[in-house]
Structures are given as C-alpha cells and as structure tokens.
Chains A and B, each alone.
Chain A
Amino acid sequence: MKFIRKTTLSSEIPTASMPDIIFMLLIFFMVTTVLREFSGLPIEIPKAKRIEKLKSKRHTSHIWISKEGLISIEDRLFNIENVRNIIYDKRVADPQIVISLKADESARMELVSGIHNELRKADALKLNYSTKTSLD
C-alpha cells in the first residue's frame, strides 16, 4: 500500500516575530545591566554558610577594606573620618541603600567597628558582610 501525504506542511521557522523576541531580550538585558563597576581593592573575602543574596545591585554600595587597612569607596581611598560624609550623601540620594562591606578576611576589627560607627552616624543601617559560600 502506498502512503499518500495529504497535507503539505511547511517546515520553516516563522521569522516574522523574531525582531520582537530579540527586542524583548534586549530590553531585559538593558534594564538589568549596571554599567558602572568599580574594581575595588585586592581582597580575599571570608567564607560563610548562612548567606543571603543582595536584592538589587542598583541599591547597593560597596566599601572595600584591604588587609593593610585601606578604605575604598568607588575606587577612591578614604580616611575613616570621611566615610560618614560620602555614605550620608548616598543615603540621601537613595534611602533604600544597602552597604556591602567587602573586607579582607585578615582585616582588623578595629577598622570594621569604626566603619559600623560611621555608618550609624550616616544613618545607613542596612549592612551586608560580603562573603563566599562555604562548601563544608
């Protein structure tokens, strides 16, 4: 018996809606991209288990603390006394701001505690200690 194909199916992918799909993807990436990135200081961040993700990159500001005790915000070095002013400005510009503290694992608590006090004075109370995921 011979099989006769009745329907003539076209096996082409419809390309008419391709630009729309691409535009959608494009808009997604445009919205999620934050172009300004800072290189910070060379640090080795500590490990922790019970970590949480920071909600938005847009509302996050980083403070780097190196092993040697240098403090860097947006690739500029600061003395501990000046941290208050810059963080206060940021806090005014964005009330939802979360400060992500990127400190070296062998940084001294003296400095971290100083940063705590400065942040409290600047009224930036949401803090996050940047850590890596511990495997064990």
Chain B
Amino acid sequence: MGKIKRRFKGGEIPTSSMADIAFLLLIFFLVTTTIDIDKGLGLVLPAEGEEIEIKKKNILNCLINSSGMVLLGGEPVNLKDVSRIVKEKLRENDKLIISVKTHEKTRYKDYVAIIDQLKIADATRISIADTD
C-alpha cells in the first residue's frame, strides 16, 4: 500500500467570521451597560475626633425644624432666600462656617434643599451638627 501524501494547505484561523463574533460580544456589552451616571451633592465628612474650636463670629447657624422651616442666624427665612443671604454673609466674612443642624424628625428633602442652597451660594465650609 502506498503512502497517502497529504498536502499541507496551511493552518490559518478563519477570520471571515471574526467581525460577527466581535459584533455579538459588542451587542451584549452595549445592552448590559448602563450609561446613566450617579449624580448628587458631594460632601466630605470630618474625620472622627477632628474637632476644632471656632470663633463664634465665624459660625452661621442654620436650623431646620421638623416641618422644614429654616432659622438662619437666628432669623426665620424662606428656603429660597437662603442662598442669597449666605452669599451676602460670605462676602462680609470669607471664613464663615455654616453649621447645619436638623431636628430628628426633619425630612431628608428639606435638608438636601438647604445643602443645595448652600452649594449655590458657593459655601465650601459646611458643618453638619448632630440632630436634636
């Protein structure tokens, strides 16, 4: 019996379907990706045990009660006026720290609205006191 000679035709991987495979994977990742990015109000909490004494004149107290009413520096104000007033006070004293204090039963919504107002006023020094 004679030897069967097999002619080697080259061992190439077929590349014609590569694009299809890649497309399939692409579509999978396209479908599973969620593009919407989380948005929100950023804040950096002070480290534990980091308590500094601050001069009284550099503190602006902002109190929020359980029904969402705001007391800014001892005067009751409207929520929408907070940013304007804080901006004015910051212009007078740039070392001003705004201390936000809430009641236990204050709604989160009211608190976020105040933080937002402070952010609009470009207040960077915000302190959050414990609830009463």
A interface list, Cβ under 8 A from B: 15, 18-19, 22-23, 25-26, 29-30, 32-35, 37, 46, 48-54, 57, 60, 65, 98, 100-101, 103-110, 112-113, 116-117, 119-121, 123, 125-134
Contacts and interface: CB of A to CB of B under 8 A. Distances in A.
A109 B105 contact: yes
Interface centre among B26, B39, B43, B104 (most CB of A within 10 A): B39
25 contacts: A22-B23, A22-B26, A25-B26, A29-B26, A29-B29, A29-B33, A33-B33, A50-B41, A52-B39, A100-B40, A101-B40, A105-B107, A108-B104, A108-B105, A109-B108, A109-B131, A116-B45, A117-B130, A120-B46, A121-B48, A125-B45, A126-B42, A129-B40, A130-B40, A134-B116
Interface string B86-104: 0000000000000000111
Q: Name B's interface SS.
A: mixed
B32 A35 contact: yes
Q: Name A's interface SS.
A: mixed
Interface in B59-104: 64, 102-104
Interface size, B (range):
35 or more
Contacts of A128: 38, 40-43
Contacts of A46: 108-109, 112-113
A50 B104 contact: no
